[in-house]
Amino acid sequence: MTGGAGFIGSNFIRFIFQSGGFKGRVINIDKLTYAGNAESLADVQAAQGDRYVFERIDICDFDAVKNCLVKYDVDCIVHFAAESHVDRSIHGPAEFIQTNIVGTFNLLEVCRQVWNGRNDVLFHHVSTDEVFGSLGAEGYFYETTPYDPRSPYSASKASSDHIVNAYFHTYGMDITMSNCTNNYGPYQFPEKLIPVMLLNMLEDKPLPVYGDGMNIRDWLYVIDHCSGIWAIVCGGRLGETYNIGGENEWTNIDLVNRMCELTAEKTGKDKDHYKKLITYVKDRPGHDRRYAIKCDKIKNELGWKQSVTFDAGLSLTIDWYLNNQAWTDSIKSGEYLRWVDKNYGGRA
Q: Could you give the residue numbers annotated as active site?
A: 129-130, 153
CB 111 within 8 A of CB 121: yes
The DSSP secondary structure of 100-143, one letter per residue, reads IIIHHHHHHHHHHHHHTT-SS-EEEEEEEGGGG----SS--B-T
Residue 226: which H helix or E strand, with range?
A: helix 222-235
CB 92 within 8 A of CB 100: no
| Count of all residues that appear for the chain in the document | 348
Residue 210: which H helix or E strand, with range?
A: strand 207-210
CB 284 within 8 A of CB 210: yes
DSSP label of 69: H
CA-wise closest residue to 228 among 246, 212, 211, 215 = 246
Residue 253: which H helix or E strand, with range?
A: helix 252-267
Alpha carbons within 13 angstroms on the beta-carbon side of residue 343 total 13
CA-wise closest residue to 277 among 202, 184, 216 = 202
CA quadruple 42, 321, 347, 339: dihedral sign? negative
